[in-house]
Structure 1
């Protein structure tokens, strides 16, 4: 596919850049932007929208599809890509095409942000180094945790070696949680780490969205306890554990209703394994908010998350979480206060934790209220403003370095 640019914003004139405020032209490279609706793409779209509202120019280089599931923010340049075998919803980028390179050179970025350390990210890094442009990266996918799902554990050492070489060339590495930051440090990625958490729209995701009518349409009575999973339906999200927990609850006659929100390649198999579960398919916006708020417990066994956007949305909706004691949940869920954390993959532990909250109405209510209170600190405005400040730190240093080089050249001439 050849490169093509689509835009939702008009570029301000270059001459408007003020000397006291370094021009902010950000080139963002990512493997997920609008061709797939996942946590990475939604977060990056929010970031771009915020940056443009603050006066920055942003150009995004990412794979595209003819019928994208979400509208994109900013000016998007289509990156050549191919679907991954067996996972056509994910695309592997093929690097910078000649037309993309011309687009990039014409844009003349003052900062390069790489969100995926793939071939496109590697070539973007090389371009930035040749142009003496500062580079930052954000860490969205904990690649090593995915290897076990594809029986590729032998590649872990080589993977970390590659990631070390890649990220050591970036001035900042933005991590979504302290747990992920610690994991990177354990593997020798120590310089430039900065915390960039995720926010939640607390005006949308709120207990006030709870709807008896929404439940009734799906055959759920007001007195039934709904155990909910929300995510893309791929096995690395802990779906096997979820399915086994639900089956054990059913076998033990623990009263509950199972609800799965989302879509993906694992859905057909899940529907066979969980015939009593209600599947809503993909939901977004207010429909998604109602699904959360009309549930009672969020069961999310995934141990591959870097942050856990869905966990934060569930908590904002007033749900206690039963989650994996891993990076995605550990920074959000306070064990025994806002939910319960279990050993990753331990079906018995997840079953007992879920059973406990199902049967204890008082505990379920108190944990849900505590979860709601905890999320009030995670506003998108504060989270995205923090990233803007990180950019300003880098650009300020870049301008200072350029000024110093110019001053040195001037002194040498005179």
Structure 2
């Protein structure tokens, strides 16, 4: 497996990859992961992790860019003798690993985790998008299978010419960690939240491509209402949000039970990001029984039936978001009804079943014994 960030920061992509690796190991596979690393990893990884030479990305020092498939990494691959190659990032390391796998006659599978081409708009680089899209098209055309996170993105990839190569690998959610039962009124009060206040939570990395400009503008429009913004996460754009929203509560990075408690203790989850390939944070809010508010995009449309188990808004319209939140505040029964329906919908996303679908793809390509796939089901 080749990753751009397997465990040195925590995000939805590497959490899914680690879940998959752990599932594969439990099914009897040997998993070796090649990724940039740091001296301060965010968590213990699943599988054998081999450090790939890398440099910090200018302006985003928390992320690293692999320098490619070096001679040492090629020698390590030869010793390991893989039966399949899994690429999770379309970077230089992933591209060269894919070419190596094809030369060895191995099946090459790529999983799509992030819509990287959409990031360019947030950094004034729209003019690069056509080149980026051509590169991504070439990268995925070089793979035997491409794993899309949901049906809308799978359809988009098929329309772009990938056809029968496309399969779906969704994401799961821990419905015990994120649950209405985790709601903690005492914890809310300890943060200075009054019982009558509605907590609007944002969950994710604090980076501009997560729609933080829309988040801040929306919350500013809602000042004067009994609303408290709760910002769960950490990242380089924290100072931007702190300056815009001094009334907000910032928890920093949370994990495990503390993360589940924080999300489940909110009332509304607001995820304005339009760059998500799946929407892990939205699904976690749904499992926690929150009314979830998102932009209408392929990822969110696959998760949420607008008006039934969440609210979808067209585009990046802060005025429309503010109006939707104001409506949810004014109609507590509707808010609760959406949250209950979201909790029910989240039951479709079981990690074991979802990871088993990837094992089926490996089996389809002849990289995993059929009996192993059956025993892991």
- TM-score, normalised by the number of residues in structure 1: 0.87
CA distance in 2, matches of 1:396, 1:102: 21
State the partner residue of 2:233.
262
State the partner residue of 2:64.
91
CA distance in 1, matches of 2:61, 2:244: 23
Secondary structure at the aligned position of 1:129 is classed as helix
State the partner residue of 1:165.
138
State the partner residue of 1:360.
331
Aligned ranges for residues 136-155 of structure 1 at < 5 Å? 136-155=109-128
Structure of greater relative contact order (alpha carbons < 8 Å, 6+ residues apart) = 2
Secondary structure at the aligned position of 1:190 is classed as helix
Task: Indicate conservation of the 8 Å contact 1:36/1:69, yes or no.
Answer: yes
Task: Indicate conservation of the 8 Å contact 2:200/2:267, yes or no.
Answer: yes
CA distance in 2, matches of 1:148, 1:134: 34
Secondary structure at the aligned position of 2:34 is classed as strand
State the partner residue of 1:345.
316
1:175 has 2:158 as partner: no
State the partner residue of 2:174.
201
1:183 CA displacement: 2.9
Aligned ranges for residues 23-34 of structure 1 at < 5 Å? 28-34=1-7
State the partner residue of 2:275.
304
CA distance in 1, matches of 2:161, 2:352: 32
CA distance in 2, matches of 1:328, 1:89: 26
Task: Indicate conservation of the 8 Å contact 1:301/1:344, yes or no.
Answer: no
Gaps of 5+ in 1: 1-27, 400-414
1:203 CA displacement: 1.6
State the partner residue of 1:17.
none
CA distance in 2, matches of 1:379, 1:223: 34
1:377 has 2:330 as partner: no
State the partner residue of 1:74.
47
Secondary structure at the aligned position of 1:57 is classed as coil
Gaps of 5+ in 2: 371-377
Task: Indicate conservation of the 8 Å contact 1:117/1:166, yes or no.
Answer: yes
Relative distance call for 1:325 and 1:349 in structure 2 (3 A) is same
1:52 has 2:25 as partner: yes
CA distance in 2, matches of 1:326, 1:396: 34
1:182 CA displacement: 2.9
Task: Indicate conservation of the 8 Å contact 1:147/1:153, yes or no.
Answer: yes
Secondary structure at the aligned position of 1:280 is classed as strand
Secondary structure at the aligned position of 1:64 is classed as coil
1:231 has 2:204 as partner: yes
CA distance in 1, matches of 2:157, 2:357: 21
Note the alpha carbon deviations across 1:196-235, whole angstroms, 9 max, x for none: 1100011211110000111011011222110010000001
- Deviating more after overlay: 312-321 vs 218-227: 218-227
Match of 1:121 among 94, 109, 128: 94
State the partner residue of 1:402.
none
- TM-score, normalised by the number of residues in structure 2: 0.96
Secondary structure at the aligned position of 2:55 is classed as strand
Secondary structure at the aligned position of 1:113 is classed as strand
**RMSD, aligned CA:** 1.4
Note the alpha carbon deviations across 1:216-275, whole angstroms, 9 max, x for none: 11011222110010000001001111111110000xx22211110000000012111101
Task: Indicate conservation of the 8 Å contact 2:288/2:343, yes or no.
Answer: yes
